[in-house]
Chains A and B, each alone.
Chain A
Amino acid sequence: QQQVRQSPQSLTVWEGETAILNCSYEDSTFDYFPWYRLFPGESPALLIAIRPVSNKKEDGRFTIFFNKREKKLSLHITDSQPGDSATYFCAASDDYAQGLTFGLGTRVSVFP
């Protein structure tokens, strides 16, 4: 059973639009939610992260919205650029397990 679910699997937006990536989780003990970005041929890299004490985290054009009650979060990429084209992974962890539990990823394509 997938502990962290992401949707959609792939997403295409035009340059300047807002891309919305969704993530949900099962385990109520998860208390740290990072998003990693993977460009083809490169390494996953931390993009932005949130803890449940907040319901919003913003970093430039990237914003996480978090709903603890519904166990859902979303990543918004505003003013999308072709350079944002990549696979975005939602992940989760808690104090008890080591390592991160990743979702399957959302492949984002931004066309000029």
Chain B
Amino acid sequence: EAAVTQSPRSKVAVTGGKVTLSCHQTNNHDYMYWYRQDTGHGLRLIHYSYVADSTEKGDIPDGYKASRPSQENFSLILELASLSQTAVYFCASSDAGNQDTQYFGPGTRLLVL
């Protein structure tokens, strides 16, 4: 049974619209992360969280907000979607921070038109 799930699995959004990507984990992990994958850029960290009700900026946070309402759930919010945010978004969780195995979700393919 998948321990990190994401929804939706794919989405088409319009420029300027609001997009919310959701992530749910049943690993009982404290740490959760949002990455985006683009051709030519690998995986880049957007936001992360190590405790409920708290989020931290990653390497490329501009244009994104994050929300961690509970240990299990971590959302990524694009308030004003832009063409440049077309990418595959991966959520991940880990038990003990950045030097522990990260378990990734299946990804959300976002296309902004």
Contact = CB atoms under 8 A, between A and B. Distances in A.
A, B assembled together: yes
Interface of A: 6, 31-32, 34, 42-46, 49, 89, 91, 93-95, 97-105
A98 B102 CA distance: 12
The 7 closest A-B pairs by CB, nearest first: A99-B45, A43-B104, A102-B43, A93-B98, A104-B42, A32-B99, A102-B42
B43 A44 contact: yes
B43 A98 contact: no
Interface residues of B, number: 26
Contacts of A46: 101-102
Contacts, number: 59
A44 B42 contact: no
Contacts of B44: 102
A93 B99 CA distance: 7
Contact of A42 (B31, B42, B58, B106): B106
B104 A104 contact: no
Nearest to B91: A43
5 contacts: A32-B99, A43-B90, A99-B98, A100-B43, A104-B42
A104 B41 contact: yes
B42 A103 contact: yes
A91 B42 CA distance: 10
B106 A98 contact: no
Given A93-B98, A98-B98, A99-B48, A43 B107 contact: yes
B13 to A, nearest CB: 21
A57 to B, nearest CB: 14
A94 B90 CA distance: 21
Contacts of A34: 101
